[in-house]
Amino acid sequence: GDSVTQMEGPVTLSEEAFLTINCTYTATGYPSLFWYVQYPGEGLQLLLKATKADDKGSNKGFEATYRKETTSFHLEKGSVQVSDSAVYFCALWDTDKLIFGTGTRLQVFP
Amino acid sequence: GAVVSQHPSWVICKSGTSVKIECRSLDFQATTMFWYRQFPKQSLMLMATSNEGSKATYEQGVEKDKFLINHASLTLSTLTVTSAHPEDSSFYICSGQSTEPNTEAFFGQGTRLTVV
């Protein structure tokens, strides 16, 4: 079945550093891809999405490009802030449900 | 974006009692509701999918008699943990989706359940 693989965390960065969180997927078709963010003690919030190959999703300085050839959807941000500290989940839409990666914890220090 | 309200945000109950968690879509009709369970530092595990007016579809390994799901209207779904035990302690999250296919799902704030 379809699956999502994320890099293991935690990812620890200093403020203003460049962020990359890798995400690759396995799917029979071309599913929509998502990044969700979970702040401590809260549910998930949609961060960005892409619905077809070569689409770039972006929000709050975060970006991810749907790469069909490498089956990837890596999350990037040019300059992280302390407030970006959270758990980030990559996900794909599989017919009738979301399939999540294991999540990557990001810790940003001042 | 659309809002899903989940209540309560946290609950403590005694072993053997039942706990009900509510999930409401506030500004859209959630044809489908999903219930997840999240263990510490782990991903979300889908427990069941419910469509308004029909029985929920449970994922393999999830006890349907223990985790009762009701989706009686397009704006409300409930999860009842029956005869709770300490191992049921977890973070439960709901999400709702409208009728349009391949669209995002909106998540509730989650419920921290502690069974003592």
**Model confidence pLDDT, tens digit, residues A11-38:** 999 999 999 999 999 998 889 999 999 9
Q: Say if residue B1's pLDDT is above 80.
A: no
What pLDDT sits at residue B102?
56
CA distance, residue A45 to nearest chain B CA (Å): 7
Closest residue in chain A to residue B42, using alpha carbons only: A102
pLDDT of residue B29: 85
Query: Is B41–A49 a contact, with Cβ atoms under 8 angstroms apart?
Result: no
In angstroms, the CA B90 to CA B25 distance is 22
Contact predicate B38/B90, CB 8 Å: yes
| CB B107, CB B30: distance < 8 Å | no
Query: In Å, how far is A95's CA from the nearest CA of chain B?
Result: 8
In A49-68, which positions are buried (b, 16+ CB within 10 angstroms) versus exposed (e)? bbeeeeeebeeeebbbbbbe
Of A42, A45, A100, the CB nearest to B44: A100
- Residue A99 in 3-state DSSP? strand
What pLDDT is stored for residue B105 in this prediction? 81
Q: How far apart are CA A31 and CA A84, in angstroms?
A: 27
CB contacts of A94 in chain B (<8 Å) are none
A99 vs A94, more confident: A99
Structure-token pair, residue B71: 């989706």
pLDDT of residue B103: 64
Say whether A46 and B104 touch across the interface (CB within 8 A).
yes
The pLDDT confidence band at residue B99, using thresholds 50, 70 and 90, is low
Mean of pLDDT over chain B = 90
Query: Given this model, what pLDDT does residue B23 score?
Result: 95
Q: Find the CB nearest A43 among B46, B104, B109.
A: B109
Q: How far is residue B39's CA from residue B64's CA, in Å, rounded to a whole number?
A: 19
How far apart CA B62 and CA A35 sit, in angstroms, is: 26
Element (H, E) at B32: strand B32-38
Which residues contact residue A55 at a Cβ distance below 8 angstroms, ignoring those fewer than 6 apart?
A65, A66
Of A78, A33, A44, which Cα lies nearest the Cα of A60? A78
Q: Reply yes or no: is the peptide bond before residue B101 cis, omega within 30 of 0.
A: no
- Summarised one tens digit per residue, pLDDT across range A45-84 is 999 999 999 999 999 999 999 999 999 999 999 999 999 9
pLDDT, mean of residues B18-40: 91
Do A97 and B1 lie within an 8 Å CB cutoff? no
Does the distance separating the beta carbons of B34 and A101 come in below 8 Å?
no
